[in-house]
Amino acid sequence: MHCCHRGKAHEHHPSKDFLLAFSNVQKSHQKEVREFPEKFQAHPDSEGILYEPIQSAKDKSFFSVRTDQAYRAVVARPDSSMFVLMWVDHHDDAYPWAERKRLEMGPATGAVQVLDLTAVPTVAATAQKAETGTLFVGVKDKHQLQLGVPNT
């Protein structure tokens, strides 16, 4: 999704995690939370949207944005022209989610990937097995990247 605002082109990407999280928003809050992505997509750099850095997140492109009194959205800004709606949750629950995630652009595919950092040790262990010759034997790193396997 693209839009132009103040002469700059912006890309907007809702992650599948955001859509899943929205389905869990309490009915009494869904209207305001639903309206946020519409405002966000129309004017992501509006003065009315306050991007607060999530200090505890390992991914420093993660920001918290208020959607209503009870809910916050996690938004990633990997560069000045791209916005990714990552997650929406109760204020105190949005931050722990952000601490466990990292946004990565697939180097070969350009696809937005949300990595769960709690799964990284498993991926690293799998990679170690590959080095010993049991998994992905003969598959070059560049081909693994083309398949969407993230760098660890």
- 150 vs 74, residue with greater confidence: 74
In terms of residues, how long is the chain?
Answer: 152
pLDDT digit string, tens, across residues 98-150 = 999 999 877 777 777 888 888 755 555 555 555 555 566 677 777 777 766 66
Instruction: Determine the Cα–Cα distance for residues 9 and 24; give it in Å rounded to an integer.
Output: 32
Model confidence, pTM: 0.71
- Reported as a pLDDT band with limits 50, 70 and 90, residue 2 is very low
Q: Does domain 2-99 have CATH number 3.40.1410.10?
A: no
Q: Quick one: what percent of the chain has pLDDT higher than 70? A: 76
Instruction: Determine the Cα–Cα distance for residues 34 and 25; give it in Å rounded to an integer.
Output: 10
pLDDT (0 to 100) of residue 43: 83
Which residues touch 14 (CB under 8 Å, ≥6 apart)? Answer: 37, 84, 85
Question: What is the DSSP-derived secondary structure letter of residue 136?
Answer: S
- 109 vs 24, residue with greater confidence: 24
pLDDT digit string, tens, across residues 26-53 = 999 999 888 888 888 888 878 888 999 9
Sequence spans of domains, the chain: 2-99
| Enclosing H/E stretch for 42 | helix 27-42
- Reported as a pLDDT band with limits 50, 70 and 90, residue 66 is very high
pLDDT (0 to 100) of residue 72: 95
Instruction: Determine the Cα–Cα distance for residues 65 and 94; give it in Å rounded to an integer.
Output: 10
